[in-house]
Structures are given as C-alpha cells and as structure tokens.
Amino acid sequence: MKKAVNITGKLGGDDGFQDRLLSYLNQNLPYQIVRLTPLRRNVFIVRLSDGFQFVLKGYSSLRRLKIQEAFIQSLKKEGFPFTYSMYSFPKEHCLYFESQYFGIFEFLTKGEEPFFYDSKKSCQEGLQLLEKFHGVSEKLVGSYKTLLPFFHLIEKWEERFRQFKSNIPMLSFFLQKEVVQDLSDWAEWSLAGIKQEKGALQLFPNVILHGDVAHHNFFRSSNGELLLIDFDLISISPAMIDYLQYANRILPFLNWSCKELSSFEQLLPYFKHTIFLYALVYPTDIFREWNRLVKDHSFNDTRKVRAVMELTIGQYDKRQAFYEEIKTRITNGGN
C-alpha cells in the first residue's frame, strides 16, 4: 500500500491528519485505499487499488451531510441529472473522524475545456443550466422548507456593509478615501431602494437557491456536458437572488455593459423590476472580498491583496458608469 502524502494544516489539520484519515478509512470501508489527494480543507480525492476514484468531503454535522445526500437525490428524482451522485450510508454506519462527518461523492472527470465566464456563450450556458435547476428546485421547496433557511437579502447585505464599514480603518492603507466613500454611497443608495421595493419579492415564487454560482461550481465533464455542483449554501428564496449573484459574477467579463447583461433571456424579465435594478448597484463582490481579507488576516499575502485590489480598481470607471446607467433607468421608470 502506498503511503499517503501529508498535507498542511490549512487543508486538513495537523501534519499527520491525512495519514490518520487514511488509516481510519481503510479500517471502516471495504476497499483498499492507496492515496488521498487534498483538494481543499476537508475535501479529498480517494484512489482505490483498482484505480477507482471518489471524492470524500467532510461536514461539521451529520444533519448537514444528510441534507446534502437527500437534496442531490431529490434533484435527480425530479428530473435534474446535471450534477454528481452522492453515495449514502445508514446513519449507524456513517464515517465520523475527528469532528467531521464524511460523505462520498462521485468523482467527475474534467473535460478539456474548463468552464469560465470568459465568453457570452459560456455565460448563457451557465444561465440555462441555472434556469433548469430552479425549475426543479421550485418543486422541492415544500419538502425542504423545514430543513433549509430562508435567504434574507436585506439582512445579509446590511451585515456585509456593516463589516465593511468596521474594516475601513484597515482598508485606508490600501484604498483612497474617495473610493471607500463611493462604495459606501453605492451601498446605502442600493439598500434604501431595495427596502423601499422589498414587497416586490412576493411577486416571485420561491425556489431552492444554489447560493454560490461562482464559475468553479459549474463543471465541464469529459463528455462536454455542463454540470452544477457544490450545494453547501442552498437556501430558500426567489430565483432572483441567484440571478443577482450570477450577474455580479459575469459583469466584469461583459465590461459592465447594461446592454449585454439585459440581452440574456433569463435576466431580461428582471430588468422590469426596480428592486432588481437597485440590487445590481450594491458592490457585494468588493465588500465580500475585503471583509474576507480582513477576517483571514491576509494583508501580508501579496497575491491575495493584488487580486482584491484588481477587483476593486481594475474596472472601477466602467462599474461606476454602469451604476449611473442603472440609476438613470430607475429615474425613468425602468426604461
């Protein structure tokens, strides 16, 4: 048997964590495991002696693990095959190791062309898949309404803004005062408008949101099929919440063009709703990344700082012009 390669504390605990996990798995699974390859914290690719591979992922509670198992099974049963499978164990035979409950996921083979938001075609393909996901997840809301939280947009964004404002003394070493003020002004204007129009959210049916529509959660398989993965942040709310996050993700690749964004058939209907327009102005991505940088004490990591600075400043003028166009649309009644 090959000895497992140690991993850093960042990926799985102390330096002997992977060796201990390998020993535990070989004692508790009816397979000969020859290698664990870390992907990120508490997520590993497991290779068996016959070459078969699967993904092992740790959860902080058995409840979270079981919800993932049930939800993925529900998706497939209701007609959404565009994701991985998850292999479940009876409750009494769950994999529990050093405060983590581990689930086993199908290993997906990557295609030659990974998925990125680097073309309008890719952006459209991702939206089409997300639309299919919402079409199925809407049917599941009744079954999961007591298991999943409701996503409260206003509360979430107000808290993110509070964190950003509390971090301003630290951010002043990196950002000009005028930039910080602009970001704060945009957030205040956006939140005020969303609160004013919050009743409009009742016009939309609830779905189960994916919650993290970053490009890396869209997976291009070896047969060219696009899959949706990683449902750790699922919650209940109108589909507009996922589409807002998706819009925020793709706008930098669209050069912050309002015309390009509204050209997608899945997004165009939302441009008729003022609450969606107000929400597009909230700089959620910038707040998220600066707050994370402060929380993780990563100011000495030049690579991370450079990436967040580029996000903030790189297309600042285009972002500002986009926001001004949105404000004009609202002033003109959404036209």
HSE, CB side, 13 Å, CA atoms: give it for residue 206. Answer: 17
- The confidence score (pLDDT) of residue 1 equals 33
pLDDT in tens, 229-239: 999 999 999 99
- Rounded mean pLDDT of the chain? 92
- The confidence score (pLDDT) of residue 15 equals 62
Residue 30's pLDDT band (boundaries 50, 70, 90)? confident
- Calculate helix-pair angle for 62-77, 120-144, nearest 10 degrees: 110
Largest interatomic CA distance in the chain: 70
- Domain 120-331 homologous superfamily, CATH: Aminoglycoside phosphotransferase (APH), C-terminal lobe (3.90.1200.10)
- The confidence score (pLDDT) of residue 333 equals 76
- Flag whether pLDDT at 187 surpasses 80: yes
What is the CATH code of the structural domain delimited by 9-106?
3.30.200.20
- Flag whether pLDDT at 5 surpasses 60: no
Distance CA 104, CA 28 (A): 13
Domain ranges of the chain: 9-106, 120-331
pLDDT in tens, 197-250: 999 999 999 999 999 999 999 999 999 999 999 999 999 999 999 999 999 999
Residue 82 phi, psi (nearest 5): -85, 55
3-state SS, residue 309: helix
- Flag whether pLDDT at 303 surpasses 80: yes
pLDDT in tens, 37-76: 999 889 999 999 999 999 999 999 999 999 999 999 999 9
Global confidence as pTM? 0.92
pLDDT in tens, 148-176: 999 999 999 999 999 999 999 999 999 99
Per the model's pLDDT, the better-predicted residue between 3 and 90 turns out to be: 90
User: CB within 8 A of 285, min separation 6: which ones?
Assistant: 248, 249, 311
